[in-house]
């Protein structure tokens, strides 16, 4: 299978937004309200991704295969002031039909490389408590449970949990 992970460019914004919205709808069906998922607007996400990519402060990577751009991930400085963590995996989404082919693992590897380039040595990620399959993925990569906290998304009050790697070298690919 042809597969490439590379840094995202501004021209990828539309394709990233399409993956973003499609993956949210499949991943969070049943976890987030239907009307919230239906209201996600690909054009709005495209504008947001264009901004993010032009600011160049986050590291964003995309994965392509024969079907085109099928996944993306981003990371950068830890955002919430969590003690002991300076790097964060902000987002990782693989289209459902492209899951289980190694894109997720390769994207985490790319983000970890980006964090290293920024001089960061560890990584935290937040995930919805009930997103069991993503939690299994992080656990498989050696992520250690850090803590949980409430989060509001749309009108839904949920719980999210954090996994951490005290050293980027501890990520088990
Ligand atoms: C979670 C996600 C990023 C994993 O990416 P992926 O490309 O499907 O995973 P990979 O093919 O790289 O798998 C890497 C390893 O993790 C394991 N893994 C992946 N998903 C898993 C799951 N749901 N349960 C258990 N193990 C899993 C794989 O078995 C693989 O190990 P192996 O090669 O020894 O079998 C992807 O499935 C996804 O985008 N899910 C929906 C969106 C989401 O939940 N994102 C995270 C939000 S915080």
Residues 24-43 pLDDT 10s? 999 999 999 999 999 999 99
pTM over 0.85: yes
Nearest to 129 by CA among 57, 54, 42, 31: 31
- Residue 39 is encoded by which pair of tokens? 């209201």
Atom index in ligand 1 nearest the CA of residue 140 equals 16
Residue 130: its pLDDT value, please? 97
Question: pLDDT tens digits for 66-107?
Answer: 989 999 999 999 999 999 999 999 999 999 999 999 999 999
Residue 163: its pLDDT value, please? 98
- Tell me if 162 CB under 6 Å of ligand 1: no
Residue 1: its pLDDT value, please? 66
How far does residue 141's CA lie from ligand 1's centre (Å)?
Answer: 9
What's the alpha-carbon Rg for the chain, to the nearest Å? Answer: 15
Kindly state the helix (H) or strand (E) to which residue 65 belongs, with its residue range: strand 59-65
How far does residue 103's CA lie from ligand 1's centre (Å)?
Answer: 8
Answer for the pair 136, 68: CB distance below 8 angstroms, yes or no: no
Ligand 1: which of 99, 123, 141 to mutate, most ligand atoms within 8 Å of CB? 99
Answer for the pair 133, 23: CB distance below 8 angstroms, yes or no: no
Kindly tell me if the per-residue pLDDT of 139 is higher than 70: yes
**What is the CATH code of the structural domain delimited by 3-121?**
3.40.630.30
- Tell me if 93 CB under 6 Å of ligand 1: yes
DSSP-derived secondary structure letter, 148: E
Sign for the CA dihedral angle at 133, 139, 140, 143 comes to positive
Count CB-CB contacts under 10 A for residue 69. 19
| pLDDT band per the 50, 70, 90 thresholds, residue 3 | confident
């Amino acid at each position: 299978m042809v597969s490439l992970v590379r840094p995202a460019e501004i021209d990828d914004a539309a394709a990233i937004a399409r993956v973003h919205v499609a993956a949210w709808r499949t991943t969070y069906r049943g976890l987030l309200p239907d009307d919230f998922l239906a209201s996600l607007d690909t054009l709005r996400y495209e504008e947001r991704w264009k901004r993010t990519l032009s600011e160049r402060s986050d590291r964003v990577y995309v994965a392509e295969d024969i079907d085109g751009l099928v996944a993306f991930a981003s990371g950068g400085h830890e955002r919430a002031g969590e003690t002991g963590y300076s790097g964060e995996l902000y987002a990782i989404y693989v289209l459902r039909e492209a899951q289980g082919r190694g894109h997720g693992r390769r994207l985490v590897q790319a983000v970890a490389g980006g964090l290293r380039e920024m001089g960061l040595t560890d990584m935290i990620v937040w995930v919805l408590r009930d997103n069991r399959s993503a939690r299994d993925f992080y656990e498989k990569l050696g992520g250690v449970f850090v803590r949980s906290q409430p989060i509001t998304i749309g009108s839904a009050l949920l719980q999210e949990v954090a996994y951490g790697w005290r050293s980027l070298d501890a990520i088990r690919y």
